[in-house]
Amino acid sequence: MRIAILTTALTGGGAEFVAGAWANWLADEGHEVRAILTDPRATIPEGVPFAVHRVAGGGSAATVRQVRAALRA
């Protein structure tokens, strides 16, 4: 199954940590996982078993366009 997870980052507390844990688990289970990060300064942990895309922002419309492009990539 192809799964996209939209979050600000993969590290940190709360939802970010859970998003990273889900992405890792789903990828380990054989799913095609893509994490889309909305914080352009977010660090990406080394060795993640899934694709990671950063969106640079630039306003709401630009962010939506970038998320859409990442989903289609």
- The residue that leads in pLDDT, 12 or 4, is 4
pTM for this model (two decimals): 0.88
Does the pLDDT value for residue 1 go beyond 90? yes
Q: Please state the φ and ψ torsions of residue 30, each to the nearest 5 degrees.
A: 100, 5
pLDDT at 67: 92
Signed CA dihedral, 66, 31, 49, 19: sign only? positive
Range of the domain at 51: 2-72
Q: How far apart are CA 45 and CA 60, in angstroms?
A: 26
Based on the structure, what is the number of domains in the chain? 1
Instruction: Note the pLDDT of residue 16.
Output: 95
pLDDT tens track for 10-69 = 998 899 999 999 999 999 999 999 999 999 889 999 999 999 999 987 788 998 999 999
Query: What is the domain-level CATH number for residue 65?
Result: 3.40.50.2000
